[in-house]
Structure 1
Amino acid sequence: MPERVFFCRKIGCKNRAVGDKGRYGQCEFDGETFITPGEKLVYETEAAKEAYRQNVERVTAEYSCLPCEIYKNQPDNCPAHGPLKHKTEILNQFELDYEDRMLNVEQILGIAPKDNIVSETGQLSIIWEKELQTIISKPNNWIVDGYIPKDSIILLAGKRGFYKSWGALHLALAIASGKPFLGKYPALLYPVLYLDEENGVNVLKERVMQIKQGMGLEGSVENLCFSSFAGFKISNAQAKLALETFIKQHGIKVIIVDTLRRIISSEENDAGEINSIFTNLIRPISSEYGVTWIFLHHLRKGMAGKVPTDLLDELRGSSELANYADGVIIFEKPPKTEARFNIVHGKCRNAQAQEARIVELKFEEKSVKFEVLGTAQAIVDAADECASTILRHLEVNSIEDFKTHEILEVMKAQQHSKATITRALAILDEQGKIVREKKGHYRRIIGRLEEYVEDKSEESNRS
């Protein structure tokens, strides 16, 4: 039986030893101890990931010379290195360096890339189980942390009027500017092409201006471009060639399509056609140019009164759509709410799906801001906690009659939002612990609610 191989602990050192020398000896080049292949793999991979993360965080301005620590928001020159580099170029270089580092990990462990370890039989690429164990799984690389993986195909689905287009434009601006998606989830800066076949230039202009204002973006966003009502069809060879040429010329890495139905010529219920479009047209572009596709799509209008057992069953068209997509994000609109939607992660092939979040759009005269209120359960818990605090405040201070604005002042001082306070008052009303006598006026119920209602009924009869 061959002796076990060990590797030097130092990052980047390729020295190895076998048997007892590896177990108990030291590397003759740097004096470090030896570790197992698995430990070396983890060690190198985590170091590469951390270096990549730190490098990305260093990009703090539009234009930089990192060696000289020069950071500016407009083009300029470095005395030592010439023109400052735009952060898009810097981030792309970091990514290439990271991929090279991961390849170096494979070389250190003596592991060839996947294409070199497979044996071919006819048109099949065969990987034996023993070979499978040597393949290094690539870490998840996110464009938008937890939601949009690199080189993926994503469906962004929802019914009409559920803020899909608003959300997609916000997503486009977040990626093209490197700002967090929904003000919360980090996004890497990439050039974005937005194919609009749904709204038109006038609507795009108005909404983009409002969203930029809400995100605090000033000036133009250089990495974002649009095509509107061009009649683009992915199956048209000339249109597809024009798209690929544009991708190469401008380094496009994300394409957002509003909507999927508008750019395909076939029926979306035809499984064979849908499979052919994704397999032969869309996925090859993703693989060839490292493009992530995000398709806006509609949900079914109705299911004859049936409640779907699987959320993905609500997607309109063939089930091949959900099967082929790497991720499905669904916008749901809570009942009796305005300017609010739930963002539900219906599918995520690359990682565990995110818990559903409630997002609120805050519209002002010239801006709209997206704010994540939290998970549905977190919002319920916050309202319950606020309700208990309100009731305790009323009891401790022997308050029987109060106005809404009085409670708002007290609870806001304890860091509760107006929405949470409003929900808390509704909870107390439903529980019979307070009664809303008229708009903005409440009364605390000290005895049993039934007795209070009976007293009110007698007063009404006497009058």
Structure 2
Amino acid sequence: MNTVGPSEWEAFYRSHLQGFRKLNDRQAQALCPFHDDKMPSLSVNIVDGLWNCHGCQEKGNALTFTDRLKIPREQIPGWEVREKARIIAAYDYQDEQGQLLYQVVRVDPKSFRQRRPDAAGNWTWDLNGVRRVLYRLPELLAAPKDTVFMVEGEKDVEMMRGRGFTATTNPMGAGKWRGEYSESLRGFLEAVVIPDRDEPGHKHAGEVAASVSKVIERVKVLELPGDGIKDSADWFEAGGTQKDLMDLVQAAPLWTPTAKLFHVSTPIGEKQETIRMEAVPLGEFMVGGDPEITWSVEGILPTEGVAILGGTSGYGKSWMLADLAIECARGGLWLNHFQTSKGPVLYVDEESSERLIRKRVSKLLLAKGLQPQDLDIRFLVGRGLCFTAYKSVEQFRRLLERERPALVIIDALIRVFKGDENSSTDMAAVFAPVKTLVRDFGCAVLFADHQRKQPAASGIPGDQMLRGSSEKTAFIDTLLSLSKRDGTLFVEHSKSRYAEPVPSFAVRIYDNPEKTETRVEYVGEAEPLKKAARLEAAFQLLEHLYADEDSGYYRKELVGHAGEAGVSEKNLDEALKTWVLDDRLEAEKRKEGQGASKSYYRQKTHLNPSKELFHVSDPIYGRNGNDSATPPAQPELPATQGNGHDPAAHPNVQAALRVFGGRVREVLP
């Protein structure tokens, strides 16, 4: 040590302490860096360089001060590097154009010094008047703007770079971050701060995270695991791999100003588990207001929900999904019935060819009178999306960042992961990144998925029909299950996390006679339609018996005719009740001779009933590249004003309405 005066001690401590204030010619005070100091409690003697804290009782000299804060000893006033010290490494700090500004030099015995080139080509061992920048600045500016790692020390940066990561650090170590450094990181999607495992490192990480969060939306602070691991260089030297690090990054939560440091305790290479848990008191828990649920599809799909549309291959899932994409893109009615919220749509298809998708969408657009340029729908076809591959998830995240869809449709779930769909562990690994994407981008995600093949009358609930692990049903917010009975396609709202499920309903998928247009439409609630099908024979019998005006029969006579036609007495009574409510029959009590009064049904003369009964056409399937459909046996639905067609105007639907006594709302909205 050389003789050092008060002004040099004052300059040294002032540069390393917050709240430094000179009291007199001998004493100064500042905030203590060794504990969470709110009021200045560190006393500094600027004559001899000694210091002590009245709060935490720490004390020492300039040497203990620099060692505790990891400040190079060469910065101590009067310190002289011995001649035997040799340079181990020199790290260049360059400006945006690659011009050398200064170097950080590591010498042996281990310490760090800074030097800058002078006009004569020599080195000046200080940074007076030199602009400070981040390490490897030109590389940062040229790198892909995905994830940047912030570490402590140039050696750690080089270790990260050698493994393919974009990384940087600030000069002179912990506590020396400057706000202007963050501007060099603007444009990156994510920043991961990896601190040294000590108190100054933790404090530094918080300062860096707070600063870069002003220019980067996603910021994480991650402390690396392992006994004796001090920093990222140690961690890699102990066997940590690129995949291990990316697994840790994916598991880490987003940084917030109040978040505790995220760290893990499991060995390198093993599945990483967080130990960060904080319970919230009831009073604090109840303070937050819950926003109202909003819907991508009213009553079915929440705007930040995950859903599955499940069905056996060929049932029409892809037609229903394509119709949903079109209607959500324009804020119309899905299936010409359910209101959607308008927003951009991303359609991911890993099963169908581009040619088949174009043909399917073209037929739907023609039926609706729309042009492709009218709709904000983006397609991602056959690109190998995989939710169990980190790189694929990150690429998909960048796509969502660019497109910002309100709805993501994925056809099909089985195609977008590697693993066993019967394994709850494998399926949980699929849904974990999905949940994160939904949370981060505020979008809804709807998967198509396959169901077990079961007989139509099996009676198995829809939530038990999906193939694979029950983790699927447990994770999602909404499940729609398709089934087919007697040629009719039914949809069961098997699970709804946020509202009562909508009643099961029937869907009709059909072409026009020229097979150039396809419509996918809601027909009505399932139970009334099933009732109509069940009573069809009874209605046919009544149509036959009451073909003549002023026809009338006692109930006993009708029961006899029903028996001959194979119609049960129960179904006959239901059909009679329906026709009475529909004002087609009049029921009265009449006497036969001297006996008791008996039920008599006669036809009202003011009606001219149609003999056409309700019928639901077979759905089209569009399988094996064949998108054509057998034209329905009924006439084209008549066009109406506004969106789509009016199902209630179709004669078959009119017949169904008569079945239910003209109560339109029981069948159609």
TM-score bracket, shorter-length normalisation: 0.5 to 0.7
1:156 correspondence with 2:309: yes
Cα distance 1:343–1:302, how it changes in 2: closer, same or farther (>3 A)?
closer
1:418 correspondence with 2:568: no
Q: Which of 434, 444, 448 does residue 296 from structure 1 map onto?
A: 448
Deviation per CA, 1:252-272, whole angstroms, max 9, x where unpaired? 232111100011111100111
Q: Which of 608, 611, 623 does residue 404 from structure 1 map onto?
A: 611
Q: Which of 488, 491, 498 does residue 350 from structure 1 map onto?
A: 498
C-alpha contact (below 8 Å) 1:386/1:420 kept by paired residues: no
Q: Which of 413, 421, 431 does residue 260 from structure 1 map onto?
A: 413
AA at the equivalent of 1:217 = L
1:392 correspondence with 2:585: yes
Q: Which of 305, 310, 325 does residue 476 from structure 2 map onto?
A: 325
Q: Distance in 2 between matches of 1:226 and 1:117?
A: 39
Q: CA deviation at 1:311?
A: 2.8
Q: Distance in 2 between matches of 1:160 and 1:154?
A: 18
Select between 141-150 and 123-132 the one with higher mean Cα deviation.
123-132
Q: Distance in 2 between matches of 1:379 and 1:307?
A: 17
C-alpha contact (below 8 Å) 1:193/1:254 kept by paired residues: yes
1:270 correspondence with 2:423: yes
AA at the equivalent of 2:490 = N
Structure 1: give runs of 5+ residues left out of the alignment. 1-114, 409-414, 428-463
Who is 1:373 aligned against? 523
Who is 2:319 aligned against? 166
Who is 2:435 aligned against? 283
C-alpha contact (below 8 Å) 1:119/1:126 kept by paired residues: no
AA at the equivalent of 2:474 = N
Q: Distance in 2 between matches of 1:233 and 1:402?
A: 58
Cα distance 1:395–1:294, how it changes in 2: closer, same or farther (>3 A)?
same
Partner-residue secondary structure (3-state), 1:239: helix
More helix by share: 1
Q: Distance in 1 between matches of 2:454 and 2:652?
A: 31
Cα distance 1:319–1:226, how it changes in 2: closer, same or farther (>3 A)?
same
Cα distance 1:167–1:119, how it changes in 2: closer, same or farther (>3 A)?
same
C-alpha contact (below 8 Å) 2:423/2:469 kept by paired residues: yes
Cα distance 1:204–1:306, how it changes in 2: closer, same or farther (>3 A)?
closer
Who is 1:44 aligned against? none
Q: Which of 388, 395, 403 does residue 235 from structure 1 map onto?
A: 388
Who is 2:146 aligned against? none
Q: Distance in 1 between matches of 2:482 and 2:440?
A: 30
1:360 correspondence with 2:512: no
Q: Which of 341, 345, 353 does residue 489 from structure 2 map onto?
A: 341
Select between 177-186 and 130-139 the one with higher mean Cα deviation.
130-139
Cα distance 1:116–1:145, how it changes in 2: closer, same or farther (>3 A)?
farther
Cα distance 1:185–1:426, how it changes in 2: closer, same or farther (>3 A)?
closer
Q: CA deviation at 1:119?
A: 11
Cα distance 1:186–1:423, how it changes in 2: closer, same or farther (>3 A)?
closer
Who is 1:244 aligned against? 397
Partner-residue secondary structure (3-state), 2:603: helix
Q: Distance in 2 between matches of 1:402 and 1:307?
A: 36
Q: Distance in 2 between matches of 1:182 and 1:391?
A: 32
Cα distance 1:422–1:116, how it changes in 2: closer, same or farther (>3 A)?
same
Partner-residue secondary structure (3-state), 1:220: helix
Q: TM-score, normalised by structure 2?
A: 0.41
Who is 1:144 aligned against? 297
Cα distance 1:238–1:367, how it changes in 2: closer, same or farther (>3 A)?
same
Q: Distance in 1 between matches of 2:613 and 2:353?
A: 47
Who is 1:108 aligned against? none
C-alpha contact (below 8 Å) 1:191/1:223 kept by paired residues: yes
Q: CA deviation at 1:237?
A: 2.8
Partner-residue secondary structure (3-state), 2:293: coil
Cα distance 1:424–1:142, how it changes in 2: closer, same or farther (>3 A)?
closer
AA at the equivalent of 2:386 = K
Cα distance 1:128–1:187, how it changes in 2: closer, same or farther (>3 A)?
same
AA at the equivalent of 2:447 = F
Q: Distance in 2 between matches of 1:133 and 1:417?
A: 53
Cα distance 1:134–1:406, how it changes in 2: closer, same or farther (>3 A)?
closer
Q: Distance in 2 between matches of 1:296 and 1:199?
A: 12
AA at the equivalent of 2:472 = L
Q: Which of 238, 260, 276 does residue 123 from structure 1 map onto?
A: 276
Q: Distance in 1 between matches of 2:401 and 2:387?
A: 17
C-alpha contact (below 8 Å) 1:119/1:125 kept by paired residues: no
Partner-residue secondary structure (3-state), 2:339: coil
Partner-residue secondary structure (3-state), 1:351: coil
Q: CA deviation at 1:204?
A: 0.6
Q: Distance in 1 between matches of 2:368 and 2:469?
A: 37
Cα distance 1:420–1:392, how it changes in 2: closer, same or farther (>3 A)?
farther
Cα distance 1:421–1:215, how it changes in 2: closer, same or farther (>3 A)?
closer
Cα distance 1:374–1:170, how it changes in 2: closer, same or farther (>3 A)?
same
Q: Distance in 2 between matches of 1:300 and 1:135?
A: 42
Partner-residue secondary structure (3-state), 1:225: strand
Q: CA deviation at 1:186?
A: 1.7
Select between 377-386 and 122-131 the one with higher mean Cα deviation.
377-386
Deviation per CA, 1:16-69, whole angstroms, max 9, x where unpaired? xxxxxxxxxxxxxxxxxxxxxxxxxxxxxxxxxxxxxxxxxxxxxxxxxxxxxx
Aligned length: 302
AA at the equivalent of 2:483 = E
Partner-residue secondary structure (3-state), 1:354: coil
Q: CA deviation at 1:406?
A: 12
Q: Distance in 1 between matches of 2:516 and 2:441?
A: 37
C-alpha contact (below 8 Å) 2:480/2:492 kept by paired residues: yes
AA at the equivalent of 1:319 = S
Q: CA deviation at 1:147?
A: 1.0
Q: TM-score, normalised by structure 1?
A: 0.57
C-alpha contact (below 8 Å) 1:156/1:329 kept by paired residues: yes
AA at the equivalent of 2:611 = T
Partner-residue secondary structure (3-state), 1:404: coil
C-alpha contact (below 8 Å) 1:198/1:258 kept by paired residues: yes
Partner-residue secondary structure (3-state), 1:124: coil
Cα distance 1:307–1:185, how it changes in 2: closer, same or farther (>3 A)?
closer
Partner-residue secondary structure (3-state), 1:371: strand
Q: Which has the higher contact order (CA 8 A, sep 6+)?
A: 1
AA at the equivalent of 2:450 = H
Q: Residues 149-228 of structure 1 correspond to what in structure 2 (within 5 A)? A: 149-228=302-381
Q: CA deviation at 1:336?
A: 1.9
Q: Rg bigger for which structure?
A: 2
AA at the equivalent of 1:346 = S
Q: Distance in 1 between matches of 2:334 and 2:403?
A: 23
Identity rate of aligned residues, in percent? 20
C-alpha contact (below 8 Å) 1:386/1:424 kept by paired residues: no
